[in-house]
Every structure is written in C-alpha cells, then in structure tokens.
A and B are shown apart, each in its own frame.
Chain A
Amino acid sequence: MNRSAVETAERLASRHRKGRLFEWACLGATSLGVLVLVVLLVGVCVQAWGWLDGDFVSSYDSRHPREAGILAGIWGSFWLIGMTAIFSVPIGVGAAVYLEEYADRSWLTRLIQVNLANLAGVPSIVYGILGLTVFVRMFGAFPDGKVIVVSLGIASLKIPIPFGRTVLSGALTLTLLILPVVIVAAQEALRAIPGSIRNASIALGASRWQTIRLQVLPAAAPGILTGIILALSRAIGETAPLVMIGALTYVAFTPGGIETPIDVIRDPQGVLDAPYDTFTALPIQIFNWVSRPKVEYQHVAAAGILVLLIVLLVLNGTAILIRHRYRKGIRW
C-alpha cells in the first residue's frame, strides 16, 4: 500500500517533468522562429537606415545607388496584386461554394479535391511557363498582333491580343498560381459553418441561394479572407513566374503613367491603360539590387525589402479590418 503510493507519486512527478519538458520544447520552437524574424528585421532595418526616404519611393531605378528608387516596382506590384485579387476572389470563392454547398460527393469531386491539393504544391515557375504560352503568346494564334479598342466615352480600353508582356498577363498567371490555395482555404471556412445554420435558414423558407448569400457566406467570410490574404501575400513575393512571363527589370515609367494615388482618380485613361502596360515588380527589383557589384546596392535592396514589408503589412492590416467588421455582423 505504502510502496504503491510512493510509486504513484514518483510516476506523477515524472509525468509532470515530461509535461514541463514538452512546454519548454514548444516555447523553444516559438522563440526560435521569433528570434530569426527579429534578427532578419533588425538586420534589414540597420542596412536600410538612411536609405529609405521620400526620394527612394518617388524615383526610378538608377545606376547610381543614391539615386535608385522603387517607384516602378511599387506601382507594378500594386496593379499586379490588385488585379490578381479581382480575378482570384470571385473564381476561388465561387469554386469553393460550388464544391462545398452544391456538388454531390462523387468520384469527380474527389478527383478535383485531390488535384487542388496537388496544384497548391506545384513550383511557381511552372505556372510562369503556362502563363507565357497561354496569356503572353496565346499559343501563337495571333502572329501579327491586334489591339481591340473599346471607347467608353471619357476614356478607351485598348486590349492587345495576345496580351503580351503586360500586367494583365502577370495578374492572370498569379491568379492561376494562388487559386488552389484560395479554394482550399475557402472550402475549409465553409465547412466550419454548422449544418444547423443552413437547416434553420431553409426551415424559415429561405432558398438555397438566399441561405448561402445571407447566412453561410457572411459567417465564413473571416476564414475566407484569411485564406485570400495568405495567398495574395505569397503572390506579392513571387519573382520566378513573373520573370518567365517577361516582367522587366529596368522600367523608367509606371503602368499607365500613374505615379501618385491622385492620378488614379484624375487620369481615367491611365487607369484603363495600366493593365496593358509593361511592368516590373518589387521582388524583381530587390533581387536585382542584391546581385549588383556595387556594395551600396545592398543598402538599396534593404530599403526595397522594407517597402515590400510595409506593403504586406498594409495589405494584412486592411484584411484584418474587413474581417473584424464581418465578425461584428454575425449575430449567432
């Protein structure tokens, strides 16, 4: 009796030790990640100190490190990510809604599921090759090249066929790249909505479409948005597929000639031209600066990395705001 009590106490102590050990291991794993991030951030900030200023974000690349700026990269990435979002959100969410809410479980949907998971892991350069053939060259079906001009009163749309080395080609390629991730994330979010919500809605006389629009989608929106943000954050850092489809490294103009946020309102023609203009993007500029011979370009690259980080933070911040608003709207 006495012996077994001692044994139990010992076992208990050993179990507690193991528990504490596990806790420490988890803490170690967390702090290692944070530590690496802090070291990286501090390193970049120190290198970028004195280089990230007004001139840097308002001038173009240059062979003089002090004059080099990232304006073309900022606007290139802005149009690229904006258009990628416009394409990938409706298609991605639509596909997820169909797969989760409408489609029956059959061998076909299972096949689609498996392929989606696989596509999410395909190297991005492969999407670049695909984009080059399909969007940039359109299989070589239009060797002479045509421009479709659509007059819209105050401005006109000039769509080149094939799309060529334009922002549009880049955005469509990035859309293909992130669609699997968006769809899978949106599916997870939809699956987390309890079936009782749908049943209740139907029981009150709502149609399937009304149920999805007014109950399921608003409830799933925070989760869907998180998936979209993660996917877009990945897209904004991509270099390989963009270089493949012909994004440039040195560009001394912005898409559509729009250089300030006010231009977006003031210059409708520029806004319509921007998707069909040649471009460069933030990660391409940074990658190029890092590999330059002149030592000062390491500082320019660090400043570029900070700009990319700030853009990412703004993007994530906006999403968190929207998500917060959606959460408030849910009353159950």
Chain B
Amino acid sequence: MRGFPGHSRVERVVKPTEKGLEMTKWNRLPVMATVMLCLVMVGCSVEDSGTDGGDVGGAGTDATSGAALSGTVMIDGSSTVFPISQACAEEFGKLHGDVKVVVGTSGTGGGFKKFVLGETDINDASRPIKQQEIDACQENDIEFLELTVAIDGLSVMVNPQNEFVSALTTEQLKKIWAPDSTVELWSDVDPAWPRKEIKLYGPDTDSGTFDYFTEVICGEGGASRSDYTPSTDDNVLVKGIAGDKYSLGYFGYAYYVENKDKLKAVGIAEGSDASRAVVPEAKSIEDGKYTPLSRPLFLYVNKASLAKPHVKAFLEFYLREGQKLVSEVGYVKLSADALAATRAQLAK
C-alpha cells in the first residue's frame, strides 16, 4: 500500500553515489551559511525593552514640555467603555501623530488580567475593580489610579406600541426578573395591565450590564430568571423589543439613544412608588436622579505609566476634550463636580 518494500537493501546500493553527487552540488551551502551567521552575529545585541509593550522601537519618551510626544499608550478592557476610549484615541492621534494609542476589547475582567501584570497602561472598566484584582496588583507591585470618566444609564425598554407601561418600580422589576419569578403575563405585574404574555430580552450572563442589573435589582450579581431571550449583541435585543408589542428588556443607554424611534424607555422609581419614576435622559443621568440603574464607567491607570509624559497627556485630553466625545458616542458625561474630582485625582 505505502512505503518502500525492501527499501533498506536498495538504499545501501544507492547511498554512496548519491552522496558523491549531492556533495559537489551542495557543499557550498554550509560555507555560505557560516559566513552569513558570522555577519549576523557581528551586528547582534540585546537591549532592554521599555514597559511600553508593543513599542519595540523604544522611541524616546522623556519628552520635556513643548517637545513632541511619542510612545505607545496601551489600553484594554471593557467593550462598553471602548467607544469612549476609541473616540479619544482618534482625536488625540490627530494632535499627536507620534503617539500610538491602541485600544483592545478583552472585557473588563479579561483586561484586568493583563493590567495586573503590567502589560497595559490603562484598563477600561464598566465595574469597580474587585478585591482579588487589587490583591494581584499588590503582588506584582502595581499601583493604580481609579478615574471615573462617564456614566451609563441602564435603560429598561418596551415596544413603542405599549401604552399601558410608562413607569416601573424596582420592586416590580425584581418581581419580573428574580430567579424564582412567577410572572408570565403583564397582568401578573399589575392587574390593570393586559393578560398578555410578557416577552423578556436581556444581555447574556457574560456581560457586565447583566452583572450590574441583577445586583441592583435582584440583590445579587448574576441572580436572574433564565427563561428570557439573551444576546451578547445589544442590537439583537433592540430588534427583538422593536418587533414585539408585549416585550420588555434592558441594556446600555447608548443603544436606546440610537434607536429612540423604535423603542420606548420606561421610567424607573426606586422602591414601590411608581409616581416618582425618572426616565433615562442625559440630564437625569448626569444629575444622579436616574437611580439606581446609573452606573459609573472607569479607567484604571497604572501609576508607573502615568509618569510617562505621553500617557499623562492622553489622560488629560481624556478628561478635557474627551467629555465632549462621551455624549457623542452615546454615554452621559460627568457632572461638573464629579469631573473636577476626577481631574483632581489625576493631578495628584
């Protein structure tokens, strides 16, 4: 079938002639290789790489004030914060062409795994750092700074044709979304509402939005009923709710802003009194009136990186011009007080 039957005998006969042939043809090769290797070795040296990560060129980063900045700013982390960081990177790049700002989307937790090893300068986070991540930072001698850069208002959405719901209390939300929920029909939430099946949409369990919503509404991160339509892609949730009159779902404010004509935002009241409900809007989120579903978005900065002028310049830009970009990409900028507090932290 395969191989060389009786091969070993044949080879013994062939080998000497072959060797003679091959030698005349190929004996220049080892010589050439040796010469090449010698040439290469002459110019070979080992240098320390900067902690810049990708910046192999090791461009000078000790720029004095006024001099052109250069270097790499390595950002990774939450895909929720990504649009803000990307917008800032894009605009900052127009001012400082020699500074390479790169942004990854490994997720808040995935980003922290790299951040605690000092592999990134900045981590985008849609939740505060966890204790075990702080411990890991200490183990690796990494000091960090927490900066609040924007606010996201988790929005609860219904279909625009839904005329009976305009406000919900957190108690009603808990009744709907709790793991042991018995709510099947809208009338189960409020007897005045129609006896129609309530169709639920929400982010899947890997999402930071899911963690935050379940923690605030159900009292424990990850505690949720499981018989809803989940998706990693919020655009799928938008389509689902827009196409179903008796639906209800939740996701980040940015997706509501971009789809206002297809969705209706529900006012949220903390506790049991629906008359105190607040609708998610830039103003109500910024003023801190849209509670408890507003969540801050963070940057975690490695203090060692902060010592580099180009990283510091980028962060200053982030907290200055960046605030205009925040609303452009669908999030809510910080209030004047909160912004001043964040800037003071950076200045320290």
Residues of A within 8 A of B (CB): 61-63, 100-101, 137, 144-152, 156, 158, 160, 164-166, 190-191, 195, 198-199, 202, 205-211, 243-244, 246-253, 273, 276-278, 288, 290-295, 298
Q: Chain B at the A interface: mostly helix, strand, loop or mixed?
A: mixed
B205 at the A/B interface (Cβ < 8 Å)?
A: no
Known A146-B48, A250-B85; contact A166-B3, beta-carbon cutoff 8 A: no
Known A156-B43, A165-B53; contact A208-B86, beta-carbon cutoff 8 A: no
CA distance A101 to B15 in the complex (A): 18
Number of A-B residue pairs with CB-CB distance less than 8 Å in the complex they form: 161
B4 at the A/B interface (Cβ < 8 Å)?
A: yes
- Measured between beta carbons, the chain B residues less than 8 angstroms from A164 are 53-54, 119
Q: Are A158 and B57 in contact (CB under 8 A)?
A: yes
A-B contact pairs, 29 of them (CB 8 A): A61-B90, A145-B50, A146-B48, A146-B49, A147-B56, A147-B58, A150-B44, A151-B43, A165-B119, A166-B54, A207-B18, A208-B11, A209-B18, A210-B18, A246-B106, A246-B114, A248-B102, A248-B104, A252-B101, A253-B100, A276-B56, A278-B53, A278-B102, A291-B233, A293-B252, A293-B257, A293-B259, A294-B258, A295-B258
Question: Which single member of B5, B103, B104, B328 contacts A199 (CB below 8 Å)?
Answer: B5
Can you list, as one digit per residue, whether each of B250-262 has a CB less than 8 Å from chain A (1) or not (0)? Answer: 0010110111000
- Measured between beta carbons, the chain B residues less than 8 angstroms from A190 are 2
Known A146-B46, A165-B53; contact A295-B100, beta-carbon cutoff 8 A: no
Known A147-B58, A250-B85; contact A191-B102, beta-carbon cutoff 8 A: no
B7 at the A/B interface (Cβ < 8 Å)?
A: yes
B89 at the A/B interface (Cβ < 8 Å)?
A: yes
CB distance from A188 to the nearest CB of B (A): 12
Known A248-B102, A250-B89, A276-B56; contact A293-B82, beta-carbon cutoff 8 A: no
- Measured between beta carbons, the chain A residues less than 8 angstroms from B103 are 248-250
Question: Which single member of A149, A191, A206, A248 contacts B45 (CB below 8 Å)?
Answer: A149
- Measured between beta carbons, the chain B residues less than 8 angstroms from A295 are 258-259
B121 at the A/B interface (Cβ < 8 Å)?
A: no
Q: Are A151 and B42 in contact (CB under 8 A)?
A: yes
B40 at the A/B interface (Cβ < 8 Å)?
A: yes
Q: Are B46 and A205 in contact (CB under 8 A)?
A: no
CB distance from B8 to the nearest CB of A (A): 10
Known A158-B57, A276-B56, A293-B258; contact A246-B51, beta-carbon cutoff 8 A: no
CA distance A290 to B235 in the complex (A): 8
Q: Are B48 and A147 in contact (CB under 8 A)?
A: yes
CB distance from A50 to the nearest CB of B (A): 20
- Measured between beta carbons, the chain A residues less than 8 angstroms from B235 are 290-291, 293, 298
Q: Are B54 and A277 in contact (CB under 8 A)?
A: yes
- Measured between beta carbons, the chain A residues less than 8 angstroms from B7 are 202, 208
- Measured between beta carbons, the chain A residues less than 8 angstroms from B296 are none
Q: Are A250 and B51 in contact (CB under 8 A)?
A: no
B221-275: which residues lie under 8 A (CB-CB) from chain A?
232-235, 252, 254-255, 257-259
B337 at the A/B interface (Cβ < 8 Å)?
A: no
- Measured between beta carbons, the chain B residues less than 8 angstroms from A294 are 258, 330
CB distance from A125 to the nearest CB of B (A): 11
CA distance A238 to B217 in the complex (A): 37
Known A199-B5, A248-B104, A250-B89; contact A165-B54, beta-carbon cutoff 8 A: yes
Q: Are A246 and B48 in contact (CB under 8 A)?
A: no
